[in-house]
Amino acid sequence: MSNGTLKGGNGRDAVDRTGPRVSGQQRAASRRWSRRTLLSALLIVLVIPATILLGVFVLDDRKYYFVSLLIILYTLVPFALVFENRKPQARELIVIAVLAAIAVAGRAAFFMVPQFKPVVAIVIIAGVSFGAEAGFLVGATAGFVSNFFFGQGPWTPWQMFCFGIIGFVAGLLYRKGWLKRSRLSLCFFGGLMTLIIYGGIINIGSVMMFTPRFNWQALAAAYATGFWFDLVHAVATVVFLYVLSRPMIEKLDRIKTKYGLVER
């Protein structure tokens, strides 16, 4: 439930040379967090966890469809603000939808291998290529839609949140310049986030879903028994990022340059 460094004419360098030159001041300004990003962070850090906990404690984990749809609605708000000064183009939305569909199809394709799934890798690529808001939207949508194949349940909102927040953090760190496009950087980030963030949060959710009362002993047992599953998930993320990140990011860069898609 779950690019060797790009040099020469590849990847980001190629796009920088073919596109307009950007001054140092413009680069610094682009790395500042906008009001849209701050709103996204507020929704993701406070509102979405509060909604999940509302479903657990108030709705008794029985309204997970409702909670899942609320999470998608929350993620659409900051993403829609990307287009506050212009109308969205269909091709911009299609690229995001296709990335979510690839994540869903990838998860379904590896259904026979527990935890060995490419979803987190696709979500990180989406966050790096199209920004933090798009990364969260792809992750949350992929978690929700793919569970129509794997089974919906009270775990769905937790999975949506875990997938989404990894994409969001990837977009933020890339924008700040702290996450690079190299295979080493992306693989290290993806493996660590999958093991610590996804595994850490989903195990808390498991305890809250399947025990009558939260306690530290149950949480420790969940971490101990889930460690090897989380490790396999992290290894899968590293493998898929190593194989997919360079070609996918290069192709998405060409699409963005050609059509002027989703400015962050």
Residue 140 sits in a domain whose CATH number is 1.10.1760.20
When pLDDT is cut at 50, 70 and 90, the band that residue 18 belongs to is very low
In a domain, 234, yes or no: yes
In a domain, 87, yes or no: yes
- How many angstroms separate the CA atoms of 125 and 3, rounded? 12
Query: Tokens 């997970």 appear where?
Result: 64
In a domain, 240, yes or no: yes
In a domain, 64, yes or no: yes
**176 Cβ contact partners less than 8 Å away, ≥ 6 residues apart:** 31
The CA distances from residue 76 to 13, 58, 80, 143, 254, in Å, are 31, 25, 6, 15, 25
What is the residue-averaged pLDDT of the chain?
A: 82
- How many angstroms separate the CA atoms of 166 and 151, rounded? 22
Please tell me the total count of domains within the chain. Answer: 1
Contact predicate 59/97, CB 8 Å: no
Q: Which domain holds residue 55?
A: 11-259
Structure tokens at 156: 């769905």
Query: Tokens 């933090």 appear where?
Result: 132
pLDDT one-digit tens code per residue, 57-85: 787 766 778 888 888 888 787 777 666 66
pLDDT one-digit tens code per residue, 166-189: 999 999 999 889 999 999 999 999
Contact predicate 141/98, CB 8 Å: no
Above 70 in pLDDT, residue 203? yes
Name the DSSP class of 83.
G
In a domain, 2, yes or no: no
Give the largest Cα separation in the chain, rounded: 59
In this prediction the pTM is 0.81
In a domain, 264, yes or no: no
In a domain, 4, yes or no: no
In a domain, 5, yes or no: no
Residue type, position 26, single letter: Q
Contact predicate 110/118, CB 8 Å: yes
The percentage of residues in the chain with a pLDDT greater than 90, rounded to a whole number, is 46
Above 50 in pLDDT, residue 55? yes
The percentage of residues in the chain with a pLDDT greater than 70, rounded to a whole number, is 82
